[in-house]
Amino acid sequence: MNGEIIAFCCEHSAYAAADAAGKQGLHYPEKLRVIRVPCAGRVDIIHMLKALEEGAAAVLVLGCEDGLCQHLTGNVRAKERVKYSGMLLTEVGIDGGRVGMFNLAANAPHKFIKIIKEMNERIKKQGR
């Protein structure tokens, strides 16, 4: 992972949106790796930290909209874990904003692109 943005995408929402974005030919930053997960709640703190350790520039966790998690509270847990991970990064002098959690629906490919682009901007400003 060389300066890539890692995006853990919930298969019920974000992954479908990413897929749709691809099919519609929407343009997104090159250095993006999408990882499909059964639920945003499957992503643990250590996954986010390790991704950054291995060279990722940022980690996104993308899950279902509030109240619509198929596993009921997966997206809620993911949010808390991302927040905690941000704090762990800040503790060691790394921008806590390099991990982020976002909610979107399966039919929101444009939102998907927007999220990626915004994170990309953030990293660019800081220098990968």
Residues forming contacts to other proteins in the complex (CB under 8 A) are 45-46, 49-50, 52-53, 88-89, 91-94
Whole-number minimum distance, CB 68 to other proteins, in Å? Answer: 25
Residues 6+ apart with CB under 8 A from 97: 86, 122
Nearest of 15, 22, 44, 5 to residue 123 by alpha carbon: 5
Query: Which CB, 53 or 118, lies closer to other proteins?
Result: 53
Query: Which CB, 65 or 80, lies closer to other proteins?
Result: 80
- Alpha-carbon distance of 65 to 96, in angstroms, equals 23
Whole-number minimum distance, CB 3 to other proteins, in Å? Answer: 14
Half-sphere exposure of 90 (CA within 13 A, CB side): 9
Query: Which CB, 53 or 65, lies closer to other proteins?
Result: 53
Whole-number minimum distance, CB 47 to other proteins, in Å? Answer: 10
Whole-number minimum distance, CB 27 to other proteins, in Å? Answer: 31
Per DSSP, 30 falls in state S
- Alpha-carbon distance of 10 to 85, in angstroms, equals 19
Query: Which CB, 41 or 109, lies closer to other proteins?
Result: 41
